[in-house]
Amino acid sequence: MSETTPQKFEFQAEIKQLLDIVIHSLYTEKEIFVRELVSNASDALEKLRHVQITEKEIFDDRLELEINITTDDKAKTITFQDFGIGMNRAELIENLGTIAHSGSKAFLKALGEGEKKNTALIGQFGVGFYAAFMVAKVVKVYSHSWRAAEPGQVWTSDGSGSYEIEEISGERRGSKIVIELKDECSEFSQEWRIREILERYSAFVSFPINLNGKRVNTVQALWLRSKSEITEEEYTAFYKFQAHAFDEPLLRLHFSADAPIAINALLFVPKENPEKLGLARAEPAVALYCRKVLIDPKPKNLLPEWLRFLKGVVDSEDLPLNISRETMQDRALVDKLAKVITRRFLKLLDDEAKNRPETYAVFYKEFGVYIKEGAALDATHKDDLLKLLRFESSLTEKGKTTSLADYVSRIAGDQKEIYYLIGPNRESIEAGPYVEGFKARNLEVLYCYESVDEYVMHNVREFDGKKLTAADHADVKLSDLPNLTEGALGKEETGKLVTWMKDALGDRVAGVKASERLVDSPALALNADKFMSPHLRRMMRAMQKDTPEAPLRVELEVNPRHAVIKKLSALTASDPDKAKLVAEQILDNALISAGLLDDTTAMVRRLYKLLETA
């Protein structure tokens, strides 16, 4: 048969099945066909670049290495043209008519080792082209090989079982794919729609992409360039473009690695934490690319949850993507990717904390809550995350923080705990009765102001062999302080008072005892519940208003050195009724300090009674 008349071919039986899968189930979004055809065009140009190195004679040699896309919303067509390597008749049959045959993969195989490293071919599965049939009534591929002697060809198919090839003249080098759209897919002949798709998936393709004559991709895939060649302005511009951000990045991490998996990553910490403004939980935002082509803008299972504030790009050519590139199948490899990135980022934070503590403090103020979340939940990176935690303490100035390691380094003697207190702010913690006993003994107490702190402390449990311990818990035993007995109630009187108070307060207390920790306050309430701290109890109450709560169990400690307690002791003999009111008031005051007094009406009534007698 002459090659100038159309020749009809049946697709292989397997291709028919494959087409069916591609058209109906491989891709979740029809728009993906744009990404696939642009990727093929880019590959064709990349191959031409290689051919140009070794071959002297190239057909139509003066053409730009660019991709031109045109839409026609009247004719309902879209056309992808590249001036790449093109295909001759045999190549059209082999590449577009054979099952899962990737000409790109074959091309790569044929390259020498040195050249392989320098190519940026995208295709490798040999199915992307068929995505065109999701939206096409008819696909025509006009192609002219880079070899001048090979005539131009047009390949035509409706994707239903056969295709035709016919020789034509007048073609330029490369391929032109004309898609006549199905009626229900006419949106893809709209310029704005295609622009949007190109900006999403193909923004970083190396070759210029023009849509109806206008350049679409103007930002480079910065992550693949070497650090030394990139300016601060370029980084910032890239961040704003890629993350759709308006601020400037606070921190940046740009690295590449070959083992255990090939990665190029460019990550940013923004200036502001949107979750802090009360907005919804952030979605993961580090986009996953494979050779500059977007695979997933928000991969859910790539990085640990607590890294959801990061922006930027991870590109890996080794990705175990399935052929639709949309799902990551090999969990083990994805885990490797996650591990490399997380380690690098933790190292960056550690460096900042050590070498630029002011920058780290700014970061921590905004994003410390994620570090805490990680420390509590990410067992794999817990140790590194614990090192990054910061708290104010009874030994720091207001606004200055300490790390757990620094706390431990200051421990004198055989203290086996790291003490902390939870409270809304420094002032309220220091005004309460709990810190004074620790201060008097030179014991440092960490101050925790955030609602997650309690949860974090419970989960973390210990650091460097020291148990994290709430300073307001009844189990905390403090050593005797010298010189505390001066002017105090005697042992016997104190014993009597304590027994009397337990009796007077009845079920409201689990116990009453003389305190060794109190210095300036008359009394304090210690939480005797192992599992529920005062803070947690408050949160539970706020969340579930109607459920009956667990009865409160507090240990009341009284200060035998304090004037109020001494007076109370005298009052128990002279006016037992009034003494009972005073004892109840002391308990309520202690509960208020502990944040444990829920209903104040009884307290207010009693206070008036006491005032009457004053």
Residues that bind ligand ADP (CB under 6 A): 36, 40-41, 43-44, 82, 84-87, 95-96, 102-105, 123-129, 175
103 binds, among ligand ADP, Mg ion, none (CB under 5 to 8 A by kind): ligand ADP
Angle between helices 563-574 and 576-593 (to 10 degrees): 150
| Least distance (Å) between residue 200 CB and ligand ADP | 19
By beta-carbon proximity to ligand ADP, the closer residue of 33 and 438 is: 33
By beta-carbon proximity to ligand ADP, the closer residue of 97 and 437 is: 97
By beta-carbon proximity to ligand ADP, the closer residue of 86 and 437 is: 86
Q: How far apart are CA 519 and CA 104, in angstroms?
A: 79
| Least distance (Å) between residue 107 CB and ligand ADP | 7
Q: How far apart are CA 435 and CA 520, in angstroms?
A: 10
Q: How far apart are CA 269 and CA 249, in angstroms?
A: 6
By beta-carbon proximity to Mg ion, the closer residue of 129 and 223 is: 129
Q: How far apart are CA 422 and CA 470, in angstroms?
A: 8
Token pair for 610: 């006491």
Backbone angles phi, psi at 276, to 5 degrees: -65, -30
31 binds, among ligand ADP, Mg ion, none (CB under 5 to 8 A by kind): none
| Least distance (Å) between residue 102 CB and Mg ion | 7
459 binds, among Mg ion, ligand ADP, none (CB under 5 to 8 A by kind): none
By beta-carbon proximity to ligand ADP, the closer residue of 90 and 602 is: 90
- Where do contacts with Mg ion occur on this chain (CB under 5 A)? 40, 123, 128
Token pair for 320: 């175990």
CA nearest neighbour of 169 among 188, 181, 152: 152
Residues with Cβ within 8 Å of 215's Cβ and at least 6 positions away in sequence, in order, are 208, 209
Q: How far apart are CA 149 and CA 298, in angstroms?
A: 47
Q: Whats the size of the chain, residue-wise?
A: 614
95 binds, among Mg ion, ligand ADP, none (CB under 5 to 8 A by kind): ligand ADP
* Strand, coil or helix: 151: coil
> Angle at Cα 506 formed by Cα 434 and Cα 554, nearest 5°?
25
Contact, 376 vs 463, CB < 8 A? Answer: no
82 binds, among Mg ion, ligand ADP, none (CB under 5 to 8 A by kind): ligand ADP
Q: How far apart are CA 480 and CA 503, in angstroms?
A: 27
By beta-carbon proximity to Mg ion, the closer residue of 131 and 484 is: 131
515 binds, among ligand ADP, Mg ion, none (CB under 5 to 8 A by kind): none
588 binds, among ligand ADP, Mg ion, none (CB under 5 to 8 A by kind): none
| Least distance (Å) between residue 10 CB and ligand ADP | 18
By beta-carbon proximity to ligand ADP, the closer residue of 129 and 434 is: 129
Token pair for 382: 């817990």
| Least distance (Å) between residue 423 CB and Mg ion | 60
| Least distance (Å) between residue 22 CB and ligand ADP | 9
By beta-carbon proximity to Mg ion, the closer residue of 40 and 515 is: 40
Token pair for 60: 């139509």
Q: Which residue is nearest to Mg ion (CB)?
A: 128
Q: How far apart are CA 379 and CA 382, in angstroms?
A: 5
Query: What are 466's strand-pairing partners?
Result: 463
Token pair for 587: 């308990």
| Least distance (Å) between residue 44 CB and ligand ADP | 3
| Least distance (Å) between residue 50 CB and ligand ADP | 13
